Amino acid sequence: MRWGVLFLFAFGLYASDIRVVNAADGSYGAVAPGEIVTIYAPGMGPDTMAPQQVDSSGRVATEIAGTRVLFDGVPAPLASAIRGRIGAVVPYAVAGRESTQMVIEFGGERSIPIRLPVAAALPALFTADGSGSGQAAMLNENGCCNSPRNPQIRGGIGVLYATGEGQTEPAGTDGRICSIWRGGGCPAPELPVSVTVGGAPAEIIWKGDAPDTVAGLLQVNFRIPENAPAGDAVPLVLTVGGVHSRNTVTMAVRSETRRVLVLTTGAEPLARALRRAGYEVETHDEGTRFDLAIADVSRTSAVQLLHEKYGDFRVIAVTPALGPRSLRAADSMGAQALLRRPLSSAEVVRRVTDIVKVRAMPYVAGSGE
C-alpha cells in the first residue's frame, strides 16, 4: 500500500470522500476550464479560514496556508481554504482534454489522485443565497441588487455573474485579474453565449471575465426583453456553447408602467386622470406592491400598515387644511409631498410624475402583465 493511501487512511479519507462541485450551483460530475469549484476533502486544509491571496506577479496565488490543488500537475488558483473545504479555479490547461487528474496537497502530503471528466462548458449562475436556485446574485443597471423589492424594468440592463463558461478568447490565464481601467480588456468566452429571461431571448450587451476578479468569474450584461414576463421570480437561463444553466435561477422583472394606489375621498376622478397619463391605478389594496400611494392624512394608520406589508414606497399626503397636525401626519406616513384640497387632477399627475422619476420604487409585478 502506497504512503499516500496510508496518509489518507489515517484521516479516514478515501477517494469517494472527495467531492468537486461547481461553486455557483453545487453541480458535479465534470469540470470545465476556468470553472470556479468547491472541493470537499475531509481533513485537508488549515484549521482556520485562509482567504484568497495575490502573489508578486499580481495573480491569484496557487498556494495558501500550505494548501495546493493540482490538475494534471498544474496548480490551480485558490479562492480560499479551510479544513475540509477548498475553493479553486480549474486551470485553463485542461481545455480540450477528455479528463483531468486532480490532487490535493496539504502540509507536504498528497491525496489520492481523483480522475474527473472535462467538459467544454458547464455554465452556472451565482445566486443571492448561494444555493444555486432562486434569486440570482445580479445587478440592475443602476448598480443596485436585483430583487423582488428592486426589480428591473423591461428594456433595462441586467448584470449576471456565473462560472463554468470554459476557454476564453484570448486563451485564459490562470489567476489573472483583469482590469478595464488598466487597459487590455477582459477575455470573453470562446463559445457562444446567450441569455433568456422567462424564455425570451435577451440582447447581450457585453460578456467577459468580471473586472477586478479572478479569471473564471463570468460577467454578462444583457437587456431585459420587452416581451419578458413580469414577476418576482422570472426564470433566468445562461447558455454557453449549447449547455444551459439550471432553470431554477430567477430574477425580478417589472413593467415600465408605474403603479399608483389612490386612497382619498373622491378617488375615481384622480384615478381616471392618472390612467390617462399612463399609470396603472388601484383605489384599494389588491395585494400587489405599488410605486406610490396618494392618501388622505386621515388614513395615516392604513398607510403605515401598508409600509409594514410592502416596505418602501412613495407617498403623497392629502389634507383639507395645512397646519402642524397635518404636517405631523404626513411625516408619519413617509410622505414626499403634501397637497391641500381641493385637488387639481393636473397638479396631482404632475406631482406623481416628478416623484416617481426621482427613483424607481420597489415593485412586484404580477404574471398577468
Distance, CA of 196 to CA of 235 (rounded, Å): 8
pLDDT score at 184: 58
Give me the sign of the Cα torsion angle 254, 188, 99, 111: negative
Q: Cell numbers for 75, please give them.
A: 496548480
- The 10 Å CB-count burial string (b at 16+, else e) for 159-180 is bbbbbbbbbbeeebbbbbbbee
Distance, CA of 137 to CA of 200 (rounded, Å): 20
What's the rounded mean pLDDT across residues 79-100?
97
Within this chain, do residues 111 and 134 fall inside the same structural domain, yes or no?
no
pLDDT score at 350: 92
Q: List the single range of 139-153, 237-251, 331-345 with lowest mean pLDDT.
A: 139-153
Which band of pLDDT confidence, cut at 50, 70 and 90, is reported for residue 25? Answer: very high
Within this chain, do residues 128 and 248 fall inside the same structural domain, yes or no?
yes
Residue 366 lies in a domain: no
What's the rounded mean pLDDT across residues 157-184?
89
Domain boundary among 199, 231, 254: 254
Query: Does the pLDDT value for residue 221 go beyond 80?
Result: yes
CATH number at residue 66: 2.60.40
Within this chain, do residues 131 and 174 fall inside the same structural domain, yes or no?
yes
Query: Does the pLDDT value for residue 170 go beyond 90?
Result: yes
Q: What is the DSSP letter of 244?
A: E
Within this chain, do residues 159 and 219 fall inside the same structural domain, yes or no?
yes
Residue 369 lies in a domain: no
Q: List the single range of 79-88, 173-182, 234-243, 300-309 with lowest mean pLDDT.
A: 173-182
CA distances from 349 to 153, 264, 275, 346, 359 (A): 21, 15, 10, 5, 16
Within this chain, do residues 344 and 236 fall inside the same structural domain, yes or no?
no
The stretches of 108-214 forming alpha helices (DSSP H) are: none
Mean residue pLDDT across the chain: 89
Percent above pLDDT 70 for the chain: 91
Largest CA distance in the chain: 93
pLDDT score at 21: 97
How does pLDDT run across 1-12, given as a tens digit for each residue?
333 333 333 344
pLDDT score at 3: 35
Domain boundary among 254, 279, 311: 254
pLDDT score at 287: 83
Query: Does the pLDDT value for residue 368 go beyond 50?
Result: no
Within this chain, do residues 266 and 298 fall inside the same structural domain, yes or no?
yes
10 Å Cβ neighbour count for 216? 32
Domain boundary among 254, 278, 300: 254
How does pLDDT run across 130-155, given as a tens digit for each residue?
999 999 999 998 788 999 878 898 88
Residue 364 lies in a domain: no
What's the rounded mean pLDDT across residues 16-29?
92
How does pLDDT run across 315-335, given as a tens digit for each residue?
999 999 999 999 999 999 999
Report how many domains make up the chain: 3
Q: State the helix-helix crossing angle for 300-310 and 324-333, rounded to 10 degrees.
A: 20
CATH number at residue 353: 3.40.50.2300
Residue 167 lies in a domain: yes
Range of the domain at 93: 3-117
Which band of pLDDT confidence, cut at 50, 70 and 90, is reported for residue 17? Answer: confident
Which band of pLDDT confidence, cut at 50, 70 and 90, is reported for residue 241? Answer: very high
Q: Cell numbers for 174, please give them.
A: 490562470
Residue 48 lies in a domain: yes
Within this chain, do residues 231 and 267 fall inside the same structural domain, yes or no?
no
pLDDT score at 181: 58
For cell 478595464, what's the residue?
Answer: 180
What φ, ψ does residue 43 adopt, rounded to 5°? 85, -5
Percent above pLDDT 90 for the chain: 75
pLDDT score at 6: 33
What's the rounded mean pLDDT across residues 196-216?
96
pLDDT score at 23: 97
Within this chain, do residues 11 and 84 fall inside the same structural domain, yes or no?
yes
What's the rounded mean pLDDT across residues 155-165?
96
What's the rounded mean pLDDT across residues 20-46?
96
